Amino acid sequence: MTVTQENSNTMILSQQFRKTRAQTLELVQTLEKEDFVVQTAPFMSPPKWHLGHVTWFYEVIMSKMNSSYEFYSQEYSKVLNSYYQALGIPHEKTKRGIISRPTVDETLQYFAIINKRVEEFLKNPIIGSNLDYLFKLAFNHECQHQELLVYDLQHLLSSTYRPIKHNDVPKPSRVEKSSVDISGGLYDLGYAGTDFCYDVEIPEHKVYLNPYRMDVFPVTNGDYLKFIESGGYEDFRFWLADGWDQVKKNNWKAPMYWEKDGDTWTRNDFRGKLAINPNEPVCNVSYYEAYAYCRWAGKRLPTEAEWEKAASWDEKKQRKTTYPWGNESIFENHANLLESHLWGPAEIGSYPSGKSHYGLHQMIGDIWEWTTSDFVGYPGFQSGFAEYNDKWFSNQKVLRGASFATPQYQVKNSYRNFFRPDERWMFAGFRCVEDI
């Protein structure tokens, strides 16, 4: 790479760095100081911790390229380390809300100081240091925490959170629920491009699929309500044993954030406490709930390979695409993501221009979609960053797509999200498939 190419590359990295950092600050701009420090549940983290952790991660990245790099504060590192054993003993996640120092002001000051360090670092990059990959990893890492922060803000504040930007929901087109037949045979699963991807998206490898039929739309609130009203949460026959244990242990009666108000089901989220919209994709359901619904409906969840082929494969041109609507990365009017500023799932049929080559709608955006696949490395997997993804290859299920809280920067058909099957605090839903 020439000096001119190197300078151009670092300029692009600097621009993306500033954009990513600005988007993180935008999410917390309307919070009161008291909001920054509260941990409302063991699975969530206080906003202050997210700000500090993503800042600290840039220090980790710089230390990977410069062995003499000195961290800003060893005390900060102790409380902002999420799970990296090689960098010390991580602070217990469930106790992040009891940490008073660094203060909110000190955390914001730390955020600004490390921003300046990164800008200087990128002005004088270390040649041969894998700079492009590591900084793109850091940007994607921060995008992940932006989405996690939105999950946590909903649990913390829900309808009292005031986002800086809020757009009107697009008017949906008239839709007819149906399903599409997808051919079987060999399919190359995984990322095939040349830009950044996570190590768990590669290597691309062949899998064999039997032909299957997939629903054009995700399961909606109205669909799921029929499951509830037919006694779905009261009949063990639809549930995996572990799932049924969760139903009884946690007294599940409906998706997370649903409440029964007289005869009406309501949902309390960023848009307020409103009656359930039957035409929105169901959200905040666990893998167990998705599995139970499919059993009740006489269908099943897709594998991640089935999901990816349905989102990626162009039968006419016999090729894969990076996004369901093709290779162009223009998301406006194609998908409901964080930059859409809708703060909730859009009704099915809201993004007709974003459908896949098979005619499937809303595979990217609105809600993550559960698959039956276990989160493990692909054949030939090699870790690209120690302790990042591969340490989670146990007791996790793969989700595909993206949610209304996912930043555009990290979205593509091959992206693999993962959560435990009992978790439902994230914006997750599903669509059904059938064997042909």
DSSP conformation letters of 321-383: -SBTTBS----TTT---GGG---SPPPTTS-GGG--TT----SSSSSEEEEEEE--PPTT---
Residues in the chain, pLDDT under 70 = 1-7, 127-128
Q: 74, 75, 73, 93: which is closest to 83 by C-alpha? A: 93
In one-letter notation, the amino acid at residue 135 is: F
DSSP 370-434: EEEEE--PPTT---SSTTSSGGG-SS-EEEEE--TTS-GGG--TT--EEE-TT--SSSEE---EE
Task: Look at residue 322 in the predicted model and tell me its pLDDT.
Answer: 95
Instruction: Quickly list DSSP for 78-142.
Output: HHH--S-GGGS-PPPGGGGGG---S-HHHHHHHHHHHHHHHHHHHHS--TTS-HHHHHHHHHHHH
Cis peptide before 203 (omega within 30 of 0): yes
Q: What is the pLDDT of residue 5?
A: 56
At 175 the pLDDT is 87
* Domain coordinates in residue numbering, the chain: 3-160, 167-436
CATH of region 3-160:
1.20.120.450
CB-CB contact of 213 with 178 (8 Å)? no
Judge whether 147 and 368 are in contact, CB under 8 Å.
no
**Which residues are CB-neighbours of 245 under 8 A, at least 6 positions away?**
none
At 46, which helix (H) or strand (E)?
none
pLDDT of residue 190: 98
In contact, 215 and 348? CB cutoff 8 Å: no
**pLDDT value, residue 85:** 81
> Are 330 and 336 a contacting pair, CB within 8 Å?
no
C-alpha 28/C-alpha 46 separation (Å) is: 11
Give the whole-angstrom CA distance, residue 173 versus residue 83.
Answer: 45
Between 3.20.20.70, 3.40.50.11540, 3.90.1580.10, 1.10.510.10, what CATH number should domain 167-436 receive?
A: 3.90.1580.10
DSSP collapsed to 3 states, 149-198 = HHHHHHHHCHHHCCCCCCCCCCCCCCCCCCEEEECCEEEEECCCCCCCCC
Burial class (CB within 10 angstroms; exposed 0-12, middle 13-18, buried 19+) of 73: middle
How many CB atoms are closer than 10 A to CB 200?
24
Other Cβ atoms less than 10 A from the Cβ of 379: the count is: 11
Per CATH, 3-160 and 167-436 having the same topology is answered no
Measured CA to CA, the distance from residue 136 to residue 141 in angstroms comes to: 8
pLDDT for the residue numbered 328: 82
